[in-house]
């Protein structure tokens, strides 16, 4: 009987020692503390707006794609002192009018146009596009974007990206 107990103890000891660590890693937490009445939602601080597969024929002679909506979410807003926000965009604009963002990639002959909350075209020169009143808590700044063909240029099919930075100025 005692031999069976010793054997059982040895077997269970061998079985329990067969568990090994499979590896290790690191978890990093990153953010920024800002001096502002609102935070920016992590979901909208850096985002990709999917423009889809756009026919080159629809962009001919300055044609436009279907607009895609996107937004900037402001969170935890405290409007006790600063009550409005201006939004401005910067990026590689096409031409002197600066209301069309240049595309990069194998596609060419078009640019991205962003429409602000009041229906105006966004300029990519740092000009303010909207003066939005803030509410305590959560605020949504709505925008839309479309691809527009450049008049007088051939539309070359291919992949594209366009990058713009936004800046919030509270007043």
Alpha-carbon distances, residue 16 vs 10, 36, 78 (angstroms)? 10, 55, 55
Q: What are phi and psi of 77, to 5 degrees?
A: -75, 135
Q: Which of 171, 167, 170 is nearest to 88 (CA)?
A: 167
Q: Residue 170 has what pLDDT?
A: 94
The pLDDT value given to residue 28: 80
140 by DSSP, 3-state: which?
strand
Predicted TM-score (pTM) of the model is 0.81
Query: pLDDT at position 12, please?
Result: 56
Q: How far are the Cα atoms of 33, 117, 145, 171 from residue 99, in angstroms, in the given order? A: 31, 15, 11, 25
Could you tell me what percent of the chain has a pLDDT over 90?
Answer: 73
Output the DSSP codes for 15-50. HHTT----------------SSSSEE-HHHHS----
CATH architecture of 38-170: Sandwich (2.60)
pLDDT of 44: 93
Terminal CA-to-CA distance of the chain, rounded, Å?
84
For the chain, list residues with pLDDT below 70.
1-21
């Amino acid at each position: 009987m005692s031999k069976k107990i010793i054997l059982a103890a040895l077997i269970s000891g061998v079985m329990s020692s067969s568990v090994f660590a499979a590896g290790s890693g690191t978890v990093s937490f990153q953010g920024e503390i800002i001096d502002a009445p609102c935070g920016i939602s992590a979901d909208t601080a850096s985002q990709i707006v999917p423009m889809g597969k756009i026919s080159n024929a629809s962009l001919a002679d300055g044609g436009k794609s279907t607009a895609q909506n996107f937004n900037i979410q402001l969170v935890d807003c405290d409007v006790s002192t600063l009550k409005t926000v201006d939004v401005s965009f910067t990026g590689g604009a096409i031409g002197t009018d600066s209301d069309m963002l240049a595309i990069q990639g194998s596609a060419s002959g078009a640019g991205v146009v962003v429409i602000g909350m009041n229906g105006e075209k966004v300029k990519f020169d740092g000009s303010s596009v909207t003066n939005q009143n803030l509410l305590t808590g959560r605020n949504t700044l709505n925008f839309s974007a479309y691809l527009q063909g450049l008049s007088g240029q051939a539309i070359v099919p291919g992949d594209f990206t366009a990058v713009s930075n936004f800046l919030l100025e509270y007043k």
